Structure 1
């Protein structure tokens, strides 16, 4: 059973400070002291509730990956491998794996209890990073959907557009997973999504911290953070995750 879920924001080591000055500001969190052999890890600590966002300094352009906290690590490893995952490395207390289409994720043995509330931006606009989207090439999309649904055991529901399906976690977990079918074959990636009561106001607010608008979707805005990493602003209610009527 998945008892907590983390979004790891992986950013270039030489841009780490700029990246997490931004992410701390727009998520209303405080960056912990850095840890790890090279100071490559940190946690984004909310003022209330339990942390579910982490920072990692990496050698390349970076991206996003999920950590799934489980009750029984050995059983979760076996389950993931049976479903088609590949082990990259095993460690005491956690494993680094890749999904059938190459999406990085980790199985870990930590946990949280309370989802942090949304934060208020200028004018009282609310937002919360509440979703990670897995961007999947069309050739492997069906297999990847089957893999993630079986791995999590979460309810699989249609998304707001034909190219999306979503995995909705049980009550008490801080992140949903959205699976997006891309238009062309390319390596799998992932990006975070932020639910907003007003996406235009939040986009303008983020721009004051160095973000940049990239494009507008059907009902979302694609953004780049100060390192060029992609994320999206969506009109879901940050308190409930539901779309406006």
Structure 2
């Protein structure tokens, strides 16, 4: 396992869609966009009114976009990467103190350095009608068992059954801003992907707010609503306590 001190959800967005995507997610999360940063100004964070940020947007050159995770660790990144590789990850690249890896089922994630001074440490959850607080890993049936084992062992967060047989969640430590939910898909094979989940106290009210901001409803299920943001990214609104 590696000692994870903070988790970031990164919205990977083609440059042509980045402004529209950033404006939407800032609106629905009641956040403001930070000034651009990074070597080419490719990153912005969604700064909440209170507490520290845990969601960021990354401009990418091409492709359909998606979601990836950044795991902040307080051991040398190379040491954490060696553990991930031992557990079955594949290294894609390393640069500027960041190691980019691919999980056994193909989900891209990054290991990044957490500094004791100045790093994010607190998520504000009070007085929120809804909260972007979960990343769901969508995994093919053939890869599911191995992928669950990989993430449970890498994080050291014990798994527990989800509300339905096709779900497993990992029990995050206190202070970590994002939950991990792992979903077994009906498709037998395919590369793992991920989507965001927003916990809601009143799903109908949150759905109306997201539609007003430019999202559209894909489908309503018993416990969640599948949405699509203005640039085509799928996410879910869920009936969960904050």
Q: State the TM-score bracket (shorter-chain normalisation).
A: over 0.9
Determine the structure 1 residue equivalent to 2:83.
79
Alignment equivalent of 1:128, drawn from 120, 126, 131 = 131
**1:208 alignment partner, SS class:** helix
Q: Which deviates further from its counterpart, 95-104 or 8-17? A: 8-17
State the Cα RMSD in Å. Answer: 1.2
8 Å contact from structure 2 (residues 78, 99) kept in 1 = no
Cα deviation for residue 33 of structure 1 reads 1.2
Question: For 1:71 and 1:37, how far apart are their aligned partners in 2?
Answer: 23
**1:95 alignment partner, SS class:** strand
Determine the structure 1 residue equivalent to 2:73.
70
TM-score (ref. length: structure 2): 0.93
Determine the structure 1 residue equivalent to 2:234.
230
Consecutive unaligned residues of structure 1, counting only runs of 5 or more, are: 121-125, 239-245
8 Å contact from structure 1 (residues 28, 119) kept in 2 = no
Alignment equivalent of 1:176, drawn from 166, 170, 179 = 179
Q: How does 1:20-169 map to 2 (within 5 A)?
A: 20-58=22-60, 59-72=62-75, 73-110=77-114, 111-117=119-125, 120=128, 126-169=129-172
**1:161 alignment partner, SS class:** coil
- What count of residue pairs does the alignment treat as equivalent? 233
The 3 A distance-change label for structure 1 pair 171 and 20 is same
Listed one character per residue, the Cα deviations across residues 186-216 of structure 1 (whole Å, up to 9, x for unaligned) are 3211011000001111001100010000012
Cα deviation for residue 8 of structure 1 reads 0.5
TM-score (ref. length: structure 1): 0.92
The 3 A distance-change label for structure 1 pair 48 and 38 is same
Question: For 1:133 and 1:194, how far apart are their aligned partners in 2?
Answer: 10
Consecutive unaligned residues of structure 2, counting only runs of 5 or more, are: none
**2:46 alignment partner, SS class:** strand
The 3 A distance-change label for structure 1 pair 98 and 119 is farther
Question: For 2:219 and 2:67, how far apart are their aligned partners in 1?
Answer: 20
Moved over 2 A (4+): 35-39, 116-120
